[in-house]
Amino acid sequence: MTASATRKLTGIKYAATILGAFAVLAVAPATAFATDNEPTPGGGGCHYTDADGYDIPIDEGQDVFVDGKIVSCRGGSIVVTTAPQRATEGRAPVVTGGNAPVVKGGNLPVLKGGNLGILTTQR
């Protein structure tokens, strides 16, 4: 390459960089002044104050888990329900005391067949 071709290529890169910077600046105000897609204030809903004193806005028909309770907004009023206990049926028992169950004997799963998908490089 000659010196003029190198200089021209650098000029094109510089122009592309400046154009990209102006594109970012053009989009930034659109992002900053974007409208919120949430309902407007005063359009319904409830407010609940948790145990720490924080105000929690809840939309109409929404259920929120707060401080171990289910807090719902129905018809503009707060409904507090005690959360149900976790289901223990069908779950593995919790082992305490360091005595974990050990699988003795039995058949462990084995991948059979010689055509297993393995990532290799071709030579």
Asked if the structure places residue 110 within a domain, the reply is no
9 lies in which domain range? Answer: 1-34
User: What is the domain count for the chain?
Assistant: 2
pLDDT tens track for 57-78: 888 888 999 888 899 998 888 9
Q: What is the pTM of this model?
A: 0.38
Asked if the structure places residue 17 within a domain, the reply is yes
Cβ contacts of 48 within 8 Å, gap of 6 or more: 55, 56, 58, 64, 66, 71, 78
What pLDDT does 40 receive?
54
25/53 same-domain check = no
Asked if the structure places residue 97 within a domain, the reply is no
